[in-house]
Chains A and B, each alone.
Chain A
Amino acid sequence: MATPTVSPTTSAPPPPEAATTKRKGIRRFVDPSLLVMILVLLGVWALVSRFTPAYAVPPIPSVAKELGTMVTDPESIASLFTTLARVLVGLVSAFFVGGVIGVSMGMNAAASRLLLPPIRFVQGIPSLSWVIIAVIWFADVEIRVWFVMVLVTLPGFALQVYDSYRAIPSDLRDMARSFRPARWSLFREITLPAITPGIFTAWKVNLGLGIRMVLIAELVGATVGVGAQLLTAQQLFDMASVISWTLLLAVCMLVLQAVIELIESRVLRYRPPVTDQRQARPATTTPKV
């Protein structure tokens, strides 16, 4: 079995420097243009609030005070976490059911023919219709919210997984099949890694959708949750509270998005770095006439 060791004749060129350059200092964490935009918005808000009543545009200090109260008030924190828990439970349920449906449709043409039309039909139903249907069908608030969340986000998961499955290169499948793999090995080594980027995309899209939907669902009948708190604030014309809850929820969503992106960057670390096309483009010269 003695075989000569042969050195590779060629090696890949190193990636362009622009692709690997990292931002330094505070710019690693905050995009300067975003910081400027936030400062401009705050300036406009401060200016407008000087000339409008507080129930329409409250001054920044009163909103800041309201925010401070919220993050230290156990009842408010409970409302926030209840809403976030409803979002996550709904999304996880929709992900598992949608994922199974998506993979089944990808693996089996008959399942695709059977399931694709109802999935597309469900996707076409307005979210508000599901809220009304849930109110009529279910007395329990938790079930109502869960039902709405699942029905609204499930088609996104199912279709994204289905499309990712269909995009798996047949070359890879044939390669694997040439070794005569067990079904589970094929799923674990080819199918699952190939559909994972699509799953992350679906999560990022559905997270925003889920947070918007849970508020609408909570407006109807819930006594705990950000939606219920917003309804109370609206009835009291308490604009500072409305803005504070909205900001708090937006920040939570940004944090959750960041967590998903962090997991995504870890799981998909095999992907080559994105090169900045502006830097990669060769310099062009305009001919002088």
Chain B
Amino acid sequence: MTTQIDEPPVIRFTHVNKDFPGHRALDDLTFEISRGELVAIVGVTGCGKSTTFGLTLGLTEPTSGEVRVSGHDPYTEFAWFRRRMAVVFQDPRLLPWRTVLHNVYAGMKFAGVPKEQWDSRARDWLTRLGLGGKEDVYPHTLSGGQRQRVSIARAFAVDPDLILCDESFSALDEVTSVALRREFVDLVRDNNKTGVVITHSISEALTIGDRILVLRPPGHLCDDIKLPVDPGPAELEELRARVLSQMTPQVGAADSARGEA
């Protein structure tokens, strides 16, 4: 972790509420994420993960409270975040009419990266992600794992400060998912980025993050866990039980009751 003293947090949610017609998606959510941290936000379906993601991206605005990313409002200062933020979505969202290389170009074009840098950056990232030689093929010829690699290359090629992942590895098979997750963590750490991974998988959260923020419906933070460096199996099992009990209190209570019995 490379947090610096006096540096403002990269992401700061302050008493954020978000209401949709008929229900509250986020309830008084407050947390901070510092520069260089890799944080997993975990919770069951409907706990407000996607809403938190949308607010951080600036796709929607809070009903009340304050969202700040690098000290700026991502909703009202939408354009300020060009080249400062990139997303890896659950499905790769590649442009079917562009080759692999041009898909990576597209991200840089959208983000306003100077054109003369597109080619070297795109080829570099595709090679790092094991897609050298696939530059000129169309996405439909790739496997799911390769497509997701292209989307990771597209995000990193922009060279953003903050990388957001929305369930990015959950649609893949277990082997590919584990390999990609590991690559992603290495890339974030080696390139000194700040990473936020939204996930519903506890094991994914435990392997990815420096910290885990546990959300519980209706969108409030019920635990903020700082993960130890290189935890042992027993420690991991303990953490898993803690996260599970926070995500779903009734399951946690039942487990405790069984343990006591």
Residues of chain A whose beta carbon lies under 8 Å from any beta carbon of chain B: 1-12, 171-172, 174-182, 185-186, 189-190, 193-194, 196, 268, 270-272
Against A, the Cβ 8 Å flags (1 = close, 0 = not) of B70-101 are 00000000110110011101010101111100
Count of residues in B whose CB is under 8 Å from the partner chain: 47
A197: nearest chain-B partner, CB-CB = B97
- Whether A10 and B143, one on each chain, are in contact in the complex, defined by CB atoms closer than 8 angstroms, is yes
In the bound complex, how far is the Cα of B86 from the Cα of A172, in angstroms?
14
B87 touches A175 (CB 8 A): yes
Q: Can you report 15 residue pairs joining A to B where beta carbons are below 8 Å apart?
A: A1-B190, A1-B191, A6-B183, A8-B130, A8-B143, A8-B149, A11-B146, A174-B59, A174-B93, A175-B87, A180-B82, A181-B111, A182-B112, A185-B110, A189-B95
**In the complex, chain B residues whose CB is within 8 Å of the CB of A4:** 183, 186
Q: Are B143 and A178 in contact (CB under 8 A)?
A: no
A180 touching B143, Cβ below 8 Å: no
Does the CB pair A178–B146 fall under 8 Å? no
Knowing A1-B191, A179-B110 are in contact, say whether A9-B145 is a contact too (CB < 8 A): yes
Q: Is the CB of B145 within 8 A of A180?
A: no
Instruction: Say whether, besides A179-B107, A190-B95, A10 and B146 are in contact (CB < 8 Å).
Output: yes
Across-interface contacts of B89 in A (CB, < 8 A): 171, 174-175
Contact of B10 with A by CB under 8 A: no
Cross-chain contact A175 with B143 (CB below 8 angstroms): no
> CA A151 – CA B153 in complex, angstroms?
48
- The complex places the Cα of A5 from the Cα of B127 at a distance, in Å, of 7
A271 to B97, CA, bound (A): 8
Q: How far, in angstroms, from A7 to B145 measured CA to CA in the complex? A: 11
Specify which of B97, B99, B110, B186 is in contact with A181 (CB 8 Å cutoff).
B110
Q: How far is the CA of A247 from the CA of B173 in the complex (A)?
A: 58
CA gap between A1 and B159 in the complex, in Å: 12
| A12 CA to B127 CA, complexed, in Å | 18
- Residue from A6, A172, A178 with most neighbouring chain B CB atoms (10 Å): A178
Q: Could you tell me if A5 and B146 are in contact, using CB atoms closer than 8 angstroms?
A: no
Report A3 CB to chain B, min CB distance, Å: 5
Bound CA span A271–B89, Å: 23
Interface of A is mostly: loop
Contacts of A179 in B (CB 8 A): 82, 86, 107, 110-111, 158
- B106 and A189 within 8 A (CB): yes
Interface assignment of B229: CB less than 8 Å from any CB of chain A: no
Question: B81 to A180, Cβ gap below 8 A?
Answer: yes
B154 to chain A, nearest CB (A): 9
B179 near A172 with CB under 8 A, answer: no
Q: Given A8-B145, A8-B149, A193-B97, is A178 in contact with B109 using a C-beta cutoff of 8 Å?
A: no
Given known A190-B95, A193-B95, contact A3–B179 (CB-CB < 8 A): no
Are B179 and A9 interface neighbours, CB within 8 A? Answer: yes
Tell me the bound Cα distance from A22 to B55 in angstroms: 52
Contact of B128 among A3, A9, A12, A270 (CB under 8 A): A3
Quote the shortest CB–CB distance from A129 to chain B (angstroms).
40
List the A residue with the shortest CB-CB distance to B176. A9
A177 x B59 contact (CB < 8 A): yes
Segment of B134-142, B196-204, B207-215 in the binding face: B134-142
> Quick check: A189 and B190 within 8 Å, CB to CB?
no
Given contacts A3-B187, A171-B93, A270-B98, contact A189 B109 (CB under 8 A): yes
Interfacial chain A residues near B106, Cβ < 8 Å: 176, 189
- What B residues does A3 contact at CB under 8 A? 128, 186-187, 190-191
Are A6 and B95 neighbours in the complex by a CB distance under 8 Å? no
Q: How far is the CA of A175 from the CA of B103 in the complex (A)?
A: 12
Residue B131 at the chain A interface, CB threshold 8 Å: yes
Distance (whole angstroms) from the CB of A184 to the closest CB of chain B: 10
The listed residue (B91, B145, B173) touching A171 by CB distance below 8 A is B91
Within the complex, the shortest CB–CB distance from A180 to chain B, in Å, comes to: 4
Known contacts A6-B129, A175-B87; is A189 also within 8 Å of B110 by CB? yes
- Tell whether, in the assembled complex, residue A180 and residue B110 are in contact, meaning their CB atoms are under 8 Å apart: yes
Asked if residues B59 and A9 are in contact (CB atoms below 8 Å), the reply is: no
B191 and A8 within 8 A (CB): no
Min CB gap A175→B, angstroms: 4
CB-defined contacts of B109 to chain A, threshold 8 Å:
181, 185, 189
Task: Name B105's closest neighbour in chain A (CB-CB).
Answer: A189
Besides A1-B191, A8-B146, 5 new A-B residue pairs in contact (Cβ under 8 A), listed by A number: A8-B145, A9-B176, A10-B176, A174-B89, A179-B110
The verdict on B175 contacting chain A, using a C-beta distance below 8 Å, is yes
Chain A contacts of B91 at CB under 8 A? Answer: 171
Decide if B86 touches A12 in the complex (CB within 8 Å). no
